[in-house]
Amino acid sequence: MSNRVVVYTTPLCSWCRKLKSYLTSLNISYKEVDISKDPSKAEELYRKSGQIGVPVALIGGNVVIGFDKAKINSLLGIH
């Protein structure tokens, strides 16, 4: 499942930390993309999600805006 989950974050975002902590608690590996370090990644985030705020997760190609636990669980097959 590694490479299946990408999380767009910034260092000061508390919801980003909650999302990453939640994924870690489920033993879900993810790729973190810090948009504050690379403007092209912020542009990539906007192209993929229409969002400029974080967190945004891509799970199997599906966009999850914010820390939407129900949608995350559904996309990961967790009930």
The confidence score (pLDDT) of residue 1 equals 42
Q: What is the mean pLDDT of each run of 10 residues along the chain (79 residues)?
A: 80 97 96 94 93 94 95 92
The confidence score (pLDDT) of residue 2 equals 43
Question: Domain holding 25: CATH number?
Answer: 3.40.30.10
Helices 69-76 and 14-25 pack at an angle, to 10 degrees, of 30
The confidence score (pLDDT) of residue 79 equals 79
Split into its structural domains, the chain has a count of 1
Structural contact between residues 22 and 55, judged by C-beta atoms closer than 8 angstroms: no
- Domain residues for the domain of 59 are 5-76
